[in-house]
Amino acid sequence: MITLYAIAQRELAKDLLFEIDDEVVTLSVKGIMIAKSVSKTYNFSFVEVTDNEFVLAVQMKGYVIYLGLESDEIIDEDAYPELVRALINHLLSSLHNLVREAEKEYQGKADLLLDDNMSAEMKEFFYELLLKHQRGLPTHEQVDVA
């Protein structure tokens, strides 16, 4: 478990600079959580928590890595696809390192690897998600198509 914390701190806990819509935007990684998943496929989702806070969930090889991100400014929804693409391209090798190590040593269901000055809204999001994973509950809401 110590190695997972070290990888999260060394490779993922940082400020990231991206150019989005011709403006430089700083995204700070404020939270990282790892959770086991029954699915071995690759997938991702992007959730807006507040106007300038997001969670990128990347599923791979039986794990989901949740990254809590805070932007230094509000990002327009139209820029989300570009932002997610840039984040995944930049972070994928570090996420693979984390998952590779988890395959060797991780025995839990879900754990927070980083909780760095998250806002109250982000903490609530992460801790609700953590509890759902630890209790084996669905992590997403089922919605009806309108």
Q: Supply the pLDDT for residue 19.
A: 85
Tokens 């919605």 sit on residue: 143
Rounded to 5 degrees, φ, ψ at 113 are -100, -15
Does the residue 144 lie in any domain? no
| Partners of 66 in beta bridges | 33, 57
Which residue range(s) make up the domain with 127? 1-135
- The rounded distance, in Å, linking the Cα atoms of 37 and 64 is 6
Number of domains in the chain: 1
Does the residue 104 lie in any domain? yes
- The rounded distance, in Å, linking the Cα atoms of 111 and 91 is 19
Pick from 7, 6, 1, 2: which is nearest to 98 by CA?
Answer: 7
Does the residue 141 lie in any domain? no
Structure confidence by residue, pLDDT tens digits, 84-99: 999 999 999 999 999 9
Does the residue 140 lie in any domain? no
Structure confidence by residue, pLDDT tens digits, 92-132: 999 999 999 999 999 999 999 999 889 999 999 999 999 99
Structure confidence by residue, pLDDT tens digits, 29-40: 999 999 999 899
The residues, ordered by sequence, that sit 6+ positions from 133 with a Cβ below 8 Å of its Cβ are: 35, 36, 109, 110, 139
Does the residue 27 lie in any domain? yes
- Indicate if the pLDDT at residue 143 is higher than 70: no
Contact indicator for 118, 50 with CB cutoff of 8 Å: no
Tokens 């989901």 sit on residue: 64
Percent of residues, the chain, with pLDDT higher than 70: 96
Q: Supply the pLDDT for residue 141.
A: 62
Q: What is the mean pLDDT of residues 49-58?
A: 95
Q: Supply the pLDDT for residue 20.
A: 80
Per-chain mean pLDDT for the chain: 91
Rounded to 5 degrees, φ, ψ at 41 are -80, 170
DSSP H helices in the chain: 2-7, 80-105, 120-135
Q: What is the mean pLDDT of residues 42-63?
A: 94
Q: Is 44 helix (H, G, I), strand (E, B) or coil?
A: strand
Does the residue 67 lie in any domain? yes
Does the residue 145 lie in any domain? no
